[in-house]
Structure 1
């Protein structure tokens, strides 16, 4: 068995946000079985010097400092997706070529569609393309709800990315998505073959209400949302919650507070801290104390692709969860979370849980049991092992990057 090259659009460690969590656990799984080399970008200076804690061979973390404006101009001039020009860098191309020249690479694992542009034009290695989510569909949704030039750019991005995704999938030995729903959507849109679902897992020993962490001191009932707060679906979700849901919940439970927990809150999210009962924490070292303190965890996302790690984390912490239908997609929850279709259903679910703490805890306990049974990393990555066992490429192939 030869070596594996792992390409990632963001350095996988520390695993402290959704994409990095998936990438880290897949990388950890692969590195336990063979020699792995990593080439990845960093967009946080702290990630340039962090330790993976894994046994890896060559590791190259390159700074990605290109501004969005520059990437946008390059996208328009080159008629390429902004998602690709934002990650286009000669140093990365040279780094990948050097690793391929120095080592007996027989498998290239590409994490996220942005990194497919670094595949060589021709390779004897097997190519596993982990799209995670169908990004073109995300931009299609953005474009349908955004006006002006920004909306035009998003619709353009959706069209160009779909062509890119289809081209890469046509030549990859396997294309992976985080859920069956995403895989089916991709097949419907592209008619691609060799498409598989490899779900996200959760480390239930770390996300455990009885694990060792410093408790978060709170008084009164607390509703919690966790996430990267400069990410548009998260920002839009909490703003909708504060405007449409929280006032009605506070009518029934006047002392309830809503904590928005996550790094890089944008200006709109920061402004929510001025609203009655709203807490905006910014970055925290550990989300578990906030989850453990929550009376209810909410995931009110109108747009959500793939599997939401924040839902799995809350389930593992044995908290009652109220999620939108979009946020619950892809999670085998078996009715152990409350799924709300609209604002009124969301309010009713939260008010009911706040009124009966014992019932809320029973729901949380059932959610933890369910997530241990269905969403452990070992169970999820067994599907990846099956994919890797299937792919064989004796004669090399052309790669569309």
Structure 2
């Protein structure tokens, strides 16, 4: 027996296993480039509001990014399912690029915010269409791995974007950052046209009679997502509460050291990268329940412990854990929607989930605002305790149903849910 030949064959098999099609990598690369551009524009507008002392300016920017998704997502998702994902994505990216380009050219803070809101509205279509096209470009075999790489890359982009935006804003100003974001959408459009074949809409299938309620119904009827939707909502609410309350709590822990505070935030994003990559392993990518619940448990324990233990040396590893859970949960959710929701309503389902997430995020921003009832530390503790309670309740529900947690398969899930 030729041992060297056997080893070589095995190595080749292992090397081919995790590979995903080149067009998928092109699409993911374009998406990540665009995400960095979004970070530049968003933080540029926030810094512009601060520089000019515009009261409520920061809140205005955040609302401009949230409200279009909440209001328009069901309609836009239905349009993507009716008209086709590829064409809708390219048109939406063109509108986003044009909106940001005009925003870079004009003056006036509020006019720029309005153009960002228009870009956000078009962004609902491009993000929804991108979600729908990914399984077709990657193939069913590689969809889990593609979701893993995309999620990890988005975390890395969010890690790179803010410090780069701060540096470029100090050198070139807000208009340059808005223009850079406009260019990033053109790059993503080029990558999409290159990576996604014209026949994609035929392969996916359309639903000419798509209704606004189809997306919510699809999420509710998906065995794993429907069961864990309250837990996911609690996790999104908790992390957005911590986003606001943590500014005050973590700066106290850091004794006002803004550099240390920045490292706290970076640690969470850093932890999400390996979490997303590991969740894309072939032996884990189909375990949707374990990934989602395990991820939320990681987030919950990290936030709760960080609130109970106000020590910088302890918070760093806890935020790595929280970020790791965040990455794992995001991959599990995307895989679950892709595999358990019919392809012809992927657009509606993902758009509706985006709307639900923005509602939770907006509410979390409000609840995390400092008040006289609960201290910022208390808000951080609650942000960990609430999703932890929801996670434990979901685990109890799974045990009662006899639904698998660590050793699940699509056949088993269909049998239990049926």
Query: Structure 2 length normalisation: TM-score?
Result: 0.25
Greater fraction helix: 2
Higher relative contact order (CA 8 A, sep 6+): 2
TM-score after normalising by structure 1: 0.26
Higher strand share: 1
